[in-house]
A and B are shown apart, each in its own frame.
Chain A
Amino acid sequence: MNILEIINLTKQYGDFTAVDDISLSVATGEIFGFLGPNGAGKTTTIKMMAGLLKPDGGRVVINGNDLAADPLTCKQETAYIPDRPWLYEKLTGQEYLQFIGSLYGLAEDEFVRESESCLALFDLMTWRNHLIEGYSHGMRQKLIMTSMLMLKTPLVVVDEPMVGLDPKSARIVKELFKNRAAAGSTIFLSTHSLEIAEELCDRIGIISDGRLLTVGDMATLRQAGGSDGSDLEEIFLELTGAWELKEIIRSLRAER
């Protein structure tokens, strides 16, 4: 069963089309990677999926509910982790988690169990009663992940999950995503990191200039890239038309 259906999604900023008629489906329990160069439309698409941006055309259906028609039900089932960890500076980590838990109506016992488990995983237990303004960028990112992962929603939408994380935390996040997917949650993540996409994702969608170029597992992508033995980086460069990079790299090397 598909938990997420994106149907002909379009978004324009004035004359500029940021997302151009994208359609895709993501199945329950799947880890789906959304890849694309800077400015390709990844964050815009994700913001529309999280109900932060109003699409100019098309629909987002989450667990059978249309996001535009029934936004609250859809949001109840979606955890959104933004790429930049903007939080309330004057709250403590614990208070922030309590606030988010109450927004999603998390039960008391579930809150204690899940929040403490995630805080412990991310080494944040000793910091939970400190003000967020004293947290580093990575700690903020881990707190925001804790706040969303403790909700145990059927769909987790993550924009650039590893930005600012140390290698240990990045490893934990990858394992957590795999566990959640194995338990039936769906992870939709956008990333620049081809390594993460290749390692984590069951399927990958590549977006460029607002258009979805291809969707599929690695084998499908290799076919689409026209090179059976190539890795994701080569496929990515091939599909996004970034072969002029080779020329640039060659000329840079020639300068050494």
Chain B
Amino acid sequence: MRGTLLKPFRQGLSNRFLINRRARWRTFGVILFGCVVAVAIYLVSVRVIGYFHSQNELGIILSLKIFEMAWMIIFAMLVFSSMVSGVSALFLSRDNEILFAAPVPPEHLYFMRYVTTSMYTTWMMVVFSLPVFGAYGRVFGAGFAYWPLMCLSVFSMAAMASGFGLGATVLLVNLFPARRIRDIVAYLSLLGGILLYLFIRLMRPEELVDPDRFPDFIGYLSSLSSPAMPLLPAGWVSNLLTAYLQDRQIDWLLTALICLTPLVVFFLGEMIMKRWFFKGFSRAQESFGGERTFAAPPYHRSRLRWFLHKETKLFLRDSAEWSQLFMIGALILVYLYNFKVLPLDRAPMPTAYLANLIGYANIGLAGFLVVSLCARFVFPSISMEKEAFDLLRAAPLSLRRYFFYKYIFYLIPFTLFTLILLLASNHLLKIEGPLQWISLITGLLITWSVVGTALGFGARYADFKMENRAAALGGFGAIIFLFTALSVTLVIIFLGSFPAYRLVRHWLAGEGVSVIDWWLTGGALAVMATMSFAVPVVCIRRGIDRLRT
């Protein structure tokens, strides 16, 4: 039975990546691209960890502290994303009506949901964390046993996080007083965002690089070298691998815990499912939400106005969507807080130079945030029209105008988001002079370009049968979009770096802007603007072509 339940998932994957049992070219392309990214992550990680490692004893301990934090954050993220995916997978999936009406025991259903949700939510973490943790093995010159231990740890943690997430979801759906089950997703998102924020704040990572904050050096060292939280699975794997990296010793108790806990968590999940699933599932169907009314504003003929009205209402009335705003709020706070606590005055180079350097790199960071938020909100927005898209296509509304309206809708909040991030971080870095303008212009070019690119890719890989926006993130189109948008961001940052460097250097030295600098800046700006315009235009055109067929 369990194998049968997994058949649609297996065949779906096979149909997606293979044609007549032979791999598609694009499958090879994705694998190759993924390998290139993984190798790049590995090389960068080796360099960064190697830098720490080469300093002194303190550097080694600091790099291991980062190692521990990475495990903690990944674990927290995985549990949270499993819970969010779990609500959709366990209670809102369309196939529930067929499967639960069939003589399928709930625990078998749990097995199927556990396997599929784990695959969807953890594959990216597994693929891209292996090179990072592998880099630790290389830098620390770890012995042979490190590699199987590392793989075991990564897979075991992914399995444990999925188990905790799904089990907690089944319980929460029964305990929560909310009538409408989708609200639970909202509260979970909110809870996750706040937890993530508190977690990072309570770790106070900025103090780890500042021995002066501790009353004595021994206290500082003991704070750094104290083992990770021993009651959390992330602490187990971190402590196991840290002990092996430092002393080549395997803690067999931790190894056993890592091997057995996923199984225990899974069987507990099956028991919870057997006991509580039906009650939650039944409640989910009772909450149809028909009792509330909303007064509509008076009718007006303006298409743009009604289009924006429709998009706004669809977003604000869907708790799964608006609750993400809390996450974004927490993200902005943590992001800006990092700039506030940067110990610039302790740096070996002049503060103004360093602040400008970080300010320029900050454009890229803000760009990465915009890319990830576009992947979450803008990319799936075409698919989220669902089958109602047919009504739009049948209406006298050209696809170009449709994209224009969509673009306008997302442009405004994303522009504000970028401006807030850049202006606030520049203010915290006390940046004055040309970089203020450089960062705003470059940041906005990236944002406007990425929003358009996300719409283009969203149209090209539109799936009108998608159940929710989060489901889009694991798809082929989302991955290609992420790679493309990140590449565009990096290229734009690279193009602007040399003129920006010259302008800032002259300004800091109190010199005027030379004719060469004007030309350089103008040329770079023209190339950046052309690229920012051309990439989304090409993507949107291809998207329109795809939607027309």
A, B from the same assembly: yes
A80-B394 contact, Cβ under 8 Å, with A98-B299, A102-B306: yes
* CB proximity of A78 to chain B, nearest CB, Å: 7
Among residues 25 to 55 in chain A, which have CB atoms less than 8 Å away from a CB atom of chain B? 47, 50-52, 54
Contacts of A86 in B (CB 8 A): 386-388, 390-391
Q: A200 near B: Cβ within 8 Å? A: no
Q: A75 near B: Cβ within 8 Å? A: yes
Contacts of B318 in A (CB 8 A): 90
Contacts of A131 in B (CB 8 A): 289-290, 292, 294, 317
Contacts of B300 in A (CB 8 A): 102, 108
Could you tell me the distance between the alpha carbons of A106 and B306 in the complex, rounded to whole angstroms? 12
Q: A73 near B: Cβ within 8 Å? A: yes
A66-103 CB mask vs B (1 if < 8 Å, else 0) is: 00000111011010101010111011101100111111
* CB proximity of B381 to chain A, nearest CB, Å: 13
B139-150 CB mask vs A (1 if < 8 Å, else 0) is: 000000000000
Q: A122 near B: Cβ within 8 Å? A: no
Q: Which of B390, B391, B392, B548 contacts A54 (CB under 8 A)?
A: B548
> Is B296 a contact of A94 with CB atoms below 8 Å?
yes
Could you tell me the distance between the alpha carbons of A107 and B390 in the complex, rounded to whole angstroms? 23
Among residues 294 to 323 in chain B, which have CB atoms less than 8 Å away from a CB atom of chain A? 294-296, 298-303, 305-307, 309-310, 313-314, 317-318
Could you tell me the distance between the alpha carbons of A94 and B387 in the complex, rounded to whole angstroms? 19
Contacts of B202 in A (CB 8 A): none
> Is B309 a contact of A133 with CB atoms below 8 Å?
no
Contacts of A107 in B (CB 8 A): 301
A52-B394 contact, Cβ under 8 Å, with A102-B305, A134-B288: yes
Name the residue on B nearest A115 (C-beta).
B299
Contacts of B397 in A (CB 8 A): 72, 75, 103
* CB proximity of B194 to chain A, nearest CB, Å: 25
> Is A75 a contact of B301 with CB atoms below 8 Å?
no
> Is A95 a contact of B289 with CB atoms below 8 Å?
no
- Residue from the set B296, B299, B387, B390 with the largest chain A CB neighbour count within 10 Å: B299
> Is A90 a contact of B313 with CB atoms below 8 Å?
yes
Q: Which of A54, A84, A102 contacts B387 (CB under 8 A)?
A: A84
Could you tell me the distance between the alpha carbons of A129 and B294 in the complex, rounded to whole angstroms? 5
Could you tell me the distance between the alpha carbons of A45 and B277 in the complex, rounded to whole angstroms? 45
A82-B299 contact, Cβ under 8 Å, with A90-B318, A98-B306, A104-B396: no
Could you tell me the distance between the alpha carbons of A107 and B299 in the complex, rounded to whole angstroms? 9
* CB proximity of A18 to chain B, nearest CB, Å: 14
> Is B317 a contact of A87 with CB atoms below 8 Å?
no
Could you tell me the distance between the alpha carbons of A205 and B302 in the complex, rounded to whole angstroms? 39
> Is A98 a contact of B296 with CB atoms below 8 Å?
yes
Name the residue on A nearest B317 (C-beta).
A90
Name the residue on B nearest A90 (C-beta).
B317
Q: Which of B307, B387, B391, B396 contacts A76 (CB under 8 A)?
A: B396
B376-408 CB mask vs A (1 if < 8 Å, else 0) is: 000000000011101111111110000000000
Contacts of A98 in B (CB 8 A): 296, 299, 306, 309
> Is B296 a contact of A129 with CB atoms below 8 Å?
yes
- How many contacts between A and B, using CB within 8 angstroms? 117
Could you tell me the distance between the alpha carbons of A99 and B301 in the complex, rounded to whole angstroms? 9
Interface residue tally on B, bucketed by range? 35 or more
* CB proximity of A65 to chain B, nearest CB, Å: 12
- Residue from the set A52, A103, A133, A144 with the largest chain B CB neighbour count within 10 Å: A103
Q: A112 near B: Cβ within 8 Å? A: yes
Q: Which of B290, B296, B394 contacts A51 (CB under 8 A)?
A: B394
* CB proximity of B394 to chain A, nearest CB, Å: 4
* CB proximity of B20 to chain A, nearest CB, Å: 13
Contacts of A84 in B (CB 8 A): 387
> Is A91 a contact of B293 with CB atoms below 8 Å?
no
* CB proximity of A214 to chain B, nearest CB, Å: 28
> Is A105 a contact of B301 with CB atoms below 8 Å?
yes
Name the residue on A nearest B310 (C-beta).
A99
> Is B395 a contact of A103 with CB atoms below 8 Å?
yes
Q: Which of A76, A102, A133 contacts B303 (CB under 8 A)?
A: A102
Contacts of B302 in A (CB 8 A): 102
Could you tell me the distance between the alpha carbons of A101 and B391 in the complex, rounded to whole angstroms? 12
> Is A134 a contact of B301 with CB atoms below 8 Å?
no
Q: Which of B290, B390, B391, B393 contacts A130 (CB under 8 A)?
A: B290
Q: B226 near A: Cβ within 8 Å? A: no
Q: B222 near A: Cβ within 8 Å? A: no
Q: B4 near A: Cβ within 8 Å? A: no
> Is B394 a contact of A50 with CB atoms below 8 Å?
yes
Q: B549 near A: Cβ within 8 Å? A: yes
> Is B289 a contact of A112 with CB atoms below 8 Å?
no
Name the residue on B nearest A98 (C-beta).
B299
> Is A73 a contact of B289 with CB atoms below 8 Å?
no
A130-B394 contact, Cβ under 8 Å, with A108-B301, A111-B299: no
A88-B548 contact, Cβ under 8 Å, with A72-B398, A133-B289: no
Contacts of B298 in A (CB 8 A): 108
Name the residue on B nearest A78 (C-beta).
B394
Name the residue on B nearest A127 (C-beta).
B290
Among residues 50 to 77 in chain B, which have CB atoms less than 8 Å away from a CB atom of chain A? none
> Is A51 a contact of B303 with CB atoms below 8 Å?
no
Could you tell me the distance between the alpha carbons of A112 and B296 in the complex, rounded to whole angstroms? 13
> Is A88 a contact of B394 with CB atoms below 8 Å?
no
> Is A95 a contact of B293 with CB atoms below 8 Å?
no
Q: Which of B291, B299, B310, B548 contacts A91 (CB under 8 A)?
A: B310
> Is B396 a contact of A75 with CB atoms below 8 Å?
yes
Contacts of A92 in B (CB 8 A): 293-294, 296
Could you tell me the distance between the alpha carbons of A166 and B79 in the complex, rounded to whole angstroms? 47
Q: Which of A52, A78, A104, A134 contacts B390 (CB under 8 A)?
A: A52
Could you tell me the distance between the alpha carbons of A78 and B391 in the complex, rounded to whole angstroms? 12
> Is A102 a contact of B301 with CB atoms below 8 Å?
yes
Name the residue on B nearest A147 (C-beta).
B391
* CB proximity of A116 to chain B, nearest CB, Å: 11
Name the residue on B nearest A92 (C-beta).
B294
Could you tell me the distance between the alpha carbons of A51 and B313 in the complex, rounded to whole angstroms? 28
Contacts of A51 in B (CB 8 A): 393-394
Contacts of A80 in B (CB 8 A): 390-391, 394
Contacts of A134 in B (CB 8 A): 288-291
Name the residue on B nearest A133 (C-beta).
B289
Contacts of A72 in B (CB 8 A): 396-398
> Is A101 a contact of B299 with CB atoms below 8 Å?
yes
Could you tell me the distance between the alpha carbons of A51 and B391 in the complex, rounded to whole angstroms? 10
Among residues 342 to 391 in chain B, which have CB atoms less than 8 Å away from a CB atom of chain A? 386-388, 390-391
Could you tell me the distance between the alpha carbons of A144 and B302 in the complex, rounded to whole angstroms? 21
Could you tell me the distance between the alpha carbons of A4 and B115 in the complex, rounded to whole angstroms? 53
Q: Which of B303, B306, B390 contacts A82 (CB under 8 A)?
A: B390
> Is B306 a contact of A91 with CB atoms below 8 Å?
no
Contacts of A112 in B (CB 8 A): 299
> Is B301 a contact of A133 with CB atoms below 8 Å?
no
- For the complex with contacts A75-B394, A88-B314, 16 further pairs of A-B residues with Cβ separation under 8 Å are A47-B390, A87-B391, A88-B388, A91-B313, A95-B294, A99-B307, A101-B299, A102-B303, A103-B392, A103-B395, A105-B303, A105-B396, A106-B301, A131-B289, A133-B289, A134-B291
Chain A to chain B contacts (Cβ below 8 Å), 15 pairs: A50-B390, A71-B398, A82-B387, A88-B314, A94-B296, A99-B306, A99-B309, A101-B306, A102-B303, A102-B306, A104-B395, A105-B301, A108-B301, A131-B289, A133-B289
The 3 closest A-B pairs by CB, nearest first: A134-B290, A86-B387, A102-B306
